Amino acid sequence: MRRSSWKIRILIGLAIVAFAFIKRCNSKETNEYTGRVQTINMTAEQEIAIGLQSAPEMAQQHGGLYPDERLQTFVDAVGNKLVNNSMARETPYQYDFHLLADERTINAFALPGGQIFITYALFSQLNEAQLAGVLGHEIGHVIGRHSAERIAESDFWRTLTMGASVGGDMGGLVSGIGQNTLLKNGRGDELESDDLGVLLMIRSGYDPREMIRVMEILKSASGPNRVPEFQSTHPDPENRIEKIKEAIAKYGG
């Protein structure tokens, strides 16, 4: 009886694993702007809806929006210049740029569908071209559909872990492999966004070498005790600088 139960568990586990792989294969898309094949299980409209729904909460976590409308207008102008002079204009996304009131956290990030944020702590250290570099990088995340891809890949590894747990108590091992894979892919997202950010800067008339200065600012802000690259979703600033130089040469900046 126990052996029969064990066989049933294996069959169920294998069925769950097979379902995960079939679903993943059926979710493959080629990104027309990057040329990269991705796992995507949502539409652009769903990405936009997620971003719009999440934007107020994200702003609240950083003290709300910065109260100076003049500075917000400046951020909007730089962001819209990048969009209007690049392939971002052709995408279905709604790009909105938000200057956050947070004066302590040096950060910028993008939600799915085009909601882009930068904290005043980072904004206050940048000139216009450097701001363009930061916003261009975040637009790159949107164009690259990185959030949607991470959501789909996380769903795949979660289902795979479930199947491994049911079929043979291997859930912990599979989960660990999945986490390392997602971490590695996350670093790839950052480098792809840097590459796209350089292209957007060049097309909008900004000096792409200012992106290197942004990396130096981030490196200085992280201090000597920053997390090693293999443990971080962001590549080391030194590695990013080398890739940015390659992108500048590639696009003729």
Instruction: Say how many Å lie between the first and final Cα of the chain, rounded.
Output: 70
Q: State the average pLDDT over residues 9-18.
A: 62
pLDDT-derived band at 178, boundaries 50, 70, 90? very low
Pick 177 or 180 by higher pLDDT: 180
In this prediction, residue 122 carries a pLDDT of: 95
Provide the pLDDT for residue 61. Answer: 93
pLDDT at 253 over 70: no
| Of the candidate ranges 31-40, 105-114, 116-125, the one whose mean pLDDT is the lowest | 31-40
Q: In the predicted model, is pLDDT for residue 95 greater than 50? A: yes
Residue 106: how many other CB atoms lie within 10 Å: 19
Answer yes or no: is pLDDT of 171 > 60.
Answer: no
